[in-house]
């Protein structure tokens, strides 16, 4: 046997135990930053170097192609050779490979094609047409989600029984059955089908099942806590009587229940494998001792967990900081102020939040400070589809000549205006050298379109004209609110994608807050609608760095899993926001707490927690209650920060005013200035300040921090 010290020596004692364990079922409960990928890679190398099995006998499953590629590379580097025959891949990749090899057993043509998500929706849309169903009611995305959810639970259409009164389910099952028949006839396999078809093929073919159970003597699985029903069924059928399961995961980082992941798969593994040996990786190589203590104390409040306690032999580090903001604006200004003082690379800084709508105030504050940023795994606020939809309506109401806005909303929500009609309008516009809006009137007056095409166009332009007249004397925020309501956009998004509708509604609520804030700060603007649209366009084009730039990382907590940063800001820790009200209503508090745990353990050196004492919601500013997650952290681990000013008290709700006209003041964004006018009282007090840089701004006292010079 060759020298294998290079496999064992780099590991700590518990990692070595996991890597060199005898052939048996193993559950490696790997805490955040404990080196789980290293253990998995070294386990494979150990099995091969000690000649317990050949590469042909090993199957390693990951959740992303990137992770699979990195694992393969690290194995080759460790062994200093290419491991031919070793299967490393995602669930979908491995199932695709099996189906290509055994297409006959799977009852598929050898030339079967994979349907991506868009192609799948197109097939469903075609089926909806044959059923003569209105795709505004039975949306392709809704049907797609129903079909995929059924498949991920291992259910075919014939497995589901609809009660006599459940007409919706009966219709869905009919669509599902027709979709299955269409795909089978045309040799089409969607992503969910890859897994279900592979499972069924192995389940129903004794010889084939025995072949792979004999071949794969070692089945290693990463991120085991994220497996869903059909993935776990696949693993159960691949691990035979003489095979060994090596499951690596962390029940404390199970945060994807909303998309089908079953935490029970890892928590109840011992029921299916009674002899399984559990090894806990608890030594953390990422975070300071204090950050780990905060994480441990928080997650200990979850009752359903396998249990572990992260520790480090590194330094305790600085305390975890807690900032109580007066408002979400103050929260953003404080955080961006701290980032401006950061002397290292900005790519080492992350702002984490529960909902994507929270990014807006941070984006604005970063742009004001000229700090580049990147929305990790998502779009900038003003680039999001639902925001662009509303702004397109606002632009067309304000300026009928805007062809880009016209084309975006002419059929949103759907009005039965097809591509052919729109192309005819473009031709008329070119002929008359006019905007599309005017082309509609030319087409109708000259009877250039069929009645079927002209009727919805006339209804649209008439509605826009009436809405414009109705909103003539309304404020900017009132116009936006009426657009959202009268155009039925929320209902449209709920039909289009029920799962994503909540996020879109939160973003639209945030857009409404943005307009209210803009009105407060720009009272002197003559044309406030144009000014706001200009700012939105500018912010959509500023600040955003590419993944190759040195820029601050903004992301939702769900996007942060697997990442780490030197400086982390975990914001919006308020009841109803984090933990989110939907999760509280659905009884998912423990998953919310795990999500907070994931956020905390992203920080290597410095961690700030923040919450706001007031937050604007649905057009009103309301008091916000501090999150229970903060209260679950021992106070001795937290250092509270509160920027005291001449007018602030701890509540931040009814400020004690000592500022007056003539006072010299300082603002964190606009610099030094002098108060030239004051109006209102209490939390509605606002000051007009002339700043040395030349700008004059109206600032609302309740959520603007002015320091008296």
Binding site for ATP: residue ranges?
30-37
On whether residue 47 sits in a domain, the answer given is yes
Alpha-carbon gap, residue 248 to 220, rounded angstroms: 8
Neighbours of 707 (CB within 10 A): 17
Domain boundary among 153, 186, 219: 186
Q: Domain check: are 271 and 221 in the same one?
A: yes
Alpha-carbon gap, residue 53 to 562, rounded angstroms: 30
Domain boundary among 248, 283, 318: 283
Q: Which of 36, 280, 388, 628 is catalytic?
A: 36
Least confident window among 213-227, 470-484, 676-690 = 676-690
Helices (H), 561-661: 581-585, 589-600, 628-631
Q: Domain check: are 420 and 530 in the same one?
A: yes
Q: Domain check: are 408 and 529 in the same one?
A: yes
What is the number of structural domains in the chain? 5
- Report which DSSP code applies to 108: -
Q: Which two tokens stand for residue 357?
A: 């709508």
Q: Domain check: are 412 and 301 in the same one?
A: no
On whether residue 57 sits in a domain, the answer given is yes
Q: Domain check: are 214 and 343 in the same one?
A: no
Does residue 561 carry a catalytic annotation?
no
Q: Which of 15, 37, 120, 142 is catalytic?
A: 37
The residues that bridge with 355 in the sheet, in sequence order, are none
Query: Chain-centre distance of CA 131, in angstroms?
Result: 34
Q: Which of 49, 190, 223, 363 is catalytic?
A: 223
Domain boundary among 283, 317, 340: 283
On whether residue 302 sits in a domain, the answer given is yes
Does residue 36 carry a catalytic annotation?
yes
Does residue 222 carry a catalytic annotation?
yes
Q: Any idea what the CATH number is for the domain that residue 15 is in? A: 3.40.50.300
Least confident window among 29-43, 530-544, 571-585 = 530-544
Q: Domain check: are 574 and 668 in the same one?
A: no
Which is higher by pLDDT, 648 or 557?
557
Pairing mode, strands 244-249 and 26-30: parallel
Q: Domain check: are 597 and 576 in the same one?
A: yes
Pairing mode, strands 565-570 and 603-612: parallel
On whether residue 648 sits in a domain, the answer given is no
On whether residue 13 sits in a domain, the answer given is yes
On whether residue 449 sits in a domain, the answer given is yes
What would the mean pLDDT of 662-669 be, rounded to a whole number?
Answer: 83
Q: Domain check: are 313 and 360 in the same one?
A: yes
Q: Domain check: are 159 and 264 in the same one?
A: no
- Report which DSSP code applies to 651: S
What pLDDT, in 10s, does the model give residues 397-427? 988 888 888 988 888 888 888 888 888 888 9
Does residue 602 carry a catalytic annotation?
yes
Q: Which of 374, 602, 604, 615 is catalytic?
A: 602
The confidence band for 653, taking pLDDT boundaries of 50, 70 and 90, is: very low
Q: Domain check: are 329 and 461 in the same one?
A: no
Alpha-carbon gap, residue 707 to 643, rounded angstroms: 10
Does residue 51 carry a catalytic annotation?
no
Nearest to 312 by CA among 300, 299, 295: 295
On whether residue 150 sits in a domain, the answer given is yes
Least confident window among 43-57, 297-311, 589-603, 692-706 = 692-706
Please give the residue range of the domain that contains residue 329.
Answer: 295-368+545-641
Q: Domain check: are 233 and 207 in the same one?
A: yes
What pLDDT, in 10s, does the model give residues 452-492? 888 989 999 999 999 999 998 899 999 999 999 888 888 88
- What percent of the chain has a predicted confidence (pLDDT) above 70? 94
Q: Which residue has the tokens 């009841």?
A: 575
Alpha-carbon gap, residue 606 to 610, rounded angstroms: 13
Number of H helices, E strands in the chain: 29, 22
Q: Which residue has the tokens 């409960």?
A: 29
Q: Which of 49, 152, 193, 222 is catalytic?
A: 222
On whether residue 650 sits in a domain, the answer given is no
Q: Any idea what the CATH number is for the domain that residue 391 is in? A: 1.10.486.10
What would the mean pLDDT of 370-385 be, rounded to a whole number?
Answer: 88
Q: Domain check: are 401 and 451 in the same one?
A: yes
């Amino acid at each position: 046997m060759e020298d294998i010290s290079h496999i064992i020596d780099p590991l700590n004692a518990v990692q070595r135990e996991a890597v060199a364990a005898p052939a048996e079922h193993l559950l490696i409960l790997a805490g955040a930053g404990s080196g789980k990928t290293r253990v998995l890679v070294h386990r494979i190398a150990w099995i091969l170097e000690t000649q317990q099995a050949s590469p042909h006998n090993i199957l390693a499953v990951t959740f992303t192609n990137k992770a699979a590629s990195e694992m393969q590379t690290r194995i080759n580097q460790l062994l200093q050779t290419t491991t031919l025959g070793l299967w490393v891949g995602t669930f979908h990749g491995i199932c695709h490979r099996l189906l290509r090899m055994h297409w006959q057993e799977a009852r598929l043509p050898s030339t079967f094609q994979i349907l991506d998500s868009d192609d799948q929706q197109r097939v469903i849309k075609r089926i909806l047409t044959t059923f003569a169903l209105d795709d505004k009611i039975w949306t392709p995305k809704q049907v797609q989600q129903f079909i995929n959810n059924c498949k991920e639970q291992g259910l075919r259409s014939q497995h589901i029984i609809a009660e006599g009164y459940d007409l919706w389910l009966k219709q869905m099952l009919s669509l599902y059955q027709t979709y299955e028949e269409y795909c089978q006839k045309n040799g089409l396999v969607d992503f969910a089908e890859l897994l279900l078809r592979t499972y069924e093929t192995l389940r129903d073919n004794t010889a084939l099942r025995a072949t792979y159970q004999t071949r794969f003597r070692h089945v290693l699985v990463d991120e085991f806590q994220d497996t869903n029903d059909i993935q776990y069924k696949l693993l159960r059928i691949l691990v035979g009587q003489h095979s060994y399961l090596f499951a690596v995961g962390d029940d404390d980082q199970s945060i994807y229940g909303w998309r089908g992941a079953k935490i029970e798969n890892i928590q109840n593994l011992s029921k299916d494998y009674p002899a399984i040996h559990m090894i806990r990786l608890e030594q953390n190589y990422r975070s300071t001792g204090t950050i780990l203590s905060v994480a441990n104390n928080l997650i200990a409040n979850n009752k359903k967990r396998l249990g572990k306690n992260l520790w480090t032999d590194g330094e305790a580090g600085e305390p975890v900081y807690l900032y109580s903001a007066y408002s979400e604006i103050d929260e953003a200004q404080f955080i961006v102020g701290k980032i401006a003082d950061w002397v290292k690379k900005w790519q080492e800084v992350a702002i984490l939040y529960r909902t994507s709508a929270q990014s807006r105030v941070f984006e604005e504050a970063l742009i004001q400070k000229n700090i580049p940023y990147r929305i990790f795994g998502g779009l900038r606020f003003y680039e999001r589809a639902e925001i662009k939809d509303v702004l397109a309506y606002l632009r067309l109401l304000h300026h009928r000549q805007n062809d880009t806005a016209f084309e975006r909303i002419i059929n949103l929500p759907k009005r039965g205006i097809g591509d052919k009609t729109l192309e005819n309008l473009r031709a008329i516009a070119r002929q008359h050298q006019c905007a599309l809006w005017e082309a509609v009137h030319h087409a109708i007056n000259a009877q250039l379109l069929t009645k079927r095409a002209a009727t919805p166009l006339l209804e649209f332009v008439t509605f826009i004209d009436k809405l414009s007249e109705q909103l003539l004397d309304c404020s900017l925020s009132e116009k936006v609110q009426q657009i959202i309501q009268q155009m039925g956009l929320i209902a449209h998004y709920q039909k289009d994608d029920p799962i994503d509708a909540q996020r879109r509604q939160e973003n639209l609520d945030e857009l409404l807050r943005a307009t209210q804030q803009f009105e407060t700060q720009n009272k002197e603007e003559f044309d406030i609608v144009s000014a706001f649209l200009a700012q939105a366009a500018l912010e959509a084009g500023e600040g955003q760095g590419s993944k190759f730039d040195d820029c601050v990382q903004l992301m939702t907590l769900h996007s942060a899993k697997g990442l780490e940063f030197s400086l982390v800001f975990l914001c919006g820790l308020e009841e109803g926001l984090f933990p989110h009200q939907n999760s509280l209503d659905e009884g998912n508090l423990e998953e919310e707490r795990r999500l907070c745990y994931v956020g905390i353990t992203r920080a290597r050196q410095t961690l700030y927690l923040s919450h706001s004492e007031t937050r604007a919601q649905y057009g009103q500013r309301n008091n916000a209650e501090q999150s229970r997650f903060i209260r679950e952290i021992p106070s001795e681990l937290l250092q509270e920060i509160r920027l005291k000013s001449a007018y602030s008290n701890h509540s931040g709700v009814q400020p004690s005013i000592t500022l007056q006209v003539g006072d010299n003041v300082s603002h964190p964004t606009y610099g030094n200035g002098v108060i030239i006018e004051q109006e209102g009282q209490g939390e509605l007090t606002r000051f007009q300040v002339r700043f040395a840089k030349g700008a004059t701004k109206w600032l609302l006292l309740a959520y603007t921090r002015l320091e008296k010079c």
